[in-house]
Chain A
């Protein structure tokens, strides 16, 4: 019992992303895994626990005497799973909520599992006929067809070499099949995807940090923009590519990003202030 409380407390301390603005909290998660129809009381209980740290094994169950008279749709995101009438938590993290009824667990991890629709940075490892093998950080390498680029035809092949960086999204990603990447969207346009990065620096970070950088109006990005101007590509597999004007600036930005993971907004501001003062 004590261990559980202490674990929960420690988890909250370490992984609770520091006071977040509502916009940062509402990370759009593109993979909603299950939907269910639930009773009022269950929804109420979930809403109550939003923002709390939960551990695997926690269960939300409806009141037994209530009949499903008025069923509301509940969307369970990553970390939550529905079994019968109960909702089980199977990842440790903070419960988040996007109104009206989307719930998910915001967990901190570094290992990436491919999911459909997510955009990631991959490294091309080999060319095999018509298909490139790309390492995305998952258990298997993803395949990327050479036709999945904007304006690519059988005669007009894209200029992709082994060791290049590609930014694409998953067309197929489930645990039974090899994941497939594409660098075009549904309409056939590149939309920012494709081969990139002749220079600049690629480094790894936790998945939580990558998601925080991708939220719309992210405070983290706004703060960093004031330090140096830079270009960046953020992959949901925990890979970030950065390019600033000089090598020094790029290295500083990389170290700042890695440090910002566990800082509160205030600490971040003071750190960035120090950097700005030193650089001028």
Chain B
């Protein structure tokens, strides 16, 4: 399907607004949209919402033989997919320029920056190493996919835990999560991409462009940085010639920290907190509270694209709700957590178990341990459901 064309009047208006330093949603030139990071039940599962842009990332691991040129290093594999549900312009199985650019940038940002210690992923040198696979799916496109994808990828990598292994001579034992706690990856630093869009031959600059602003841009500059003030990668596209004077202020924006109003740099600071955050999330999950995906998919609302905005009349909700529930005849069955998917009788749109949230319902998780000689280990969710990373439960 084709995307809606951009009319001349929209283009003129947007450029005029940019010249007057106004943006469509009332942000300032250097303001970011609200970022929300949510984790799922499985380790390594993360959804990032950057305004209306939504990106899902899943990290998984597998034991494979290493590359011949690097027998002592693990393998990192990145894959970004533009789902057709994200925008009418995306078609499945179509290799578009945007897709190639996003994939390349993600790889450069995370692999070439050596943020993950691949030597620690080696199990038996020359024979078995861990292959860490990062799959990023774009769920909704409202501009600035690169930033959202990089945040999702690095959050999911920090959240991910790989199974523990014991090596005795040539024998490798992979332990299930019940036997031994899985181990996090060793991450040296967290590089995050920040996108700057240039307009009108580089005279105007916007941070975090939304989809309509992206359509009228002249060029794009993506800088990947970490909190130690190291630039991990710079990419400039769109063919616009940037003078050093234009790039310098951009770098300064990123470096300035503290009480400066500059949101792009303030954003880099909270990210190392993510590591603590993910362990906090795990603790909460054990207590059975509602959070993570369960928060982002509340059962009281019809799941459409949410906006945080206009209040809705809810004056006598409780009374009407009680009235309706009293009027009904049948009762709902509450499924105790820990019940396997197959044992449920009917697929229900209402998530009745507290504290469990899943991305999809399906077969038993079969990632990770196909090449193991001795043990057949089935990895199960701690939350009690089963998981298939390709489906998303509505």
Contacts and interface: CB of A to CB of B under 8 A. Distances in A.
Interface stretch (A69-77, A82-90, A170-178, A197-205): A197-205
Given A9-B321, A263-B310, A201 B10 contact: yes
Interface in A47-84: none
B309 to A, nearest CB: 6
A197 B22 contact: no
Interface in A120-148: 123, 125, 135, 137, 139
A3 B1 CA distance: 34
Given A5-B327, A10-B300, A263-B311, A199 B13 contact: yes
A250 B312 contact: no
Nearest to B329: A1
Nearest to B4: A135
A225 interface: no
A137 to B, nearest CB: 7
B7 A3 contact: no
Contacts of B329: 1
A174 B25 CA distance: 37
Contact of A202 (B7, B331, B349): B7
B7 A163 contact: yes
Given A9-B320, A137-B4, A255 B332 contact: no
Given A1-B330, A267-B313, A163 B6 contact: yes
Given A251-B26, A259-B310, A2 B330 contact: yes
A5 B7 contact: no
Given A247-B20, A251-B22, A9 B324 contact: yes
Nearest to B327: A5
A247 B13 contact: yes
Interface residues of A, number: 41
A199 B12 contact: yes
Interface string B19-43: 0101011100000000000000000
A268 to B, nearest CB: 9
B239 interface: no
B314 interface: yes
A159 interface: no
Contacts of A13: 312-314, 317
Interface string A1-41: 11101100111011000100000000000000000000000
Contact of A198 (B12, B24, B311, B312): B12
A14 B324 contact: no
Interface of A: 1-3, 5-6, 9-11, 13-14, 18, 123, 125, 135, 137, 139, 161, 163-165, 197-202, 241, 247-248, 250-251, 254-255, 258-264, 267
The 6 A-B residue pairs whose C-beta atoms are closest, nearest first, are A163-B8, A259-B310, A197-B9, A123-B7, A264-B313, A201-B13
7 contacts: A200-B9, A241-B9, A250-B13, A251-B17, A259-B310, A263-B313, A264-B313
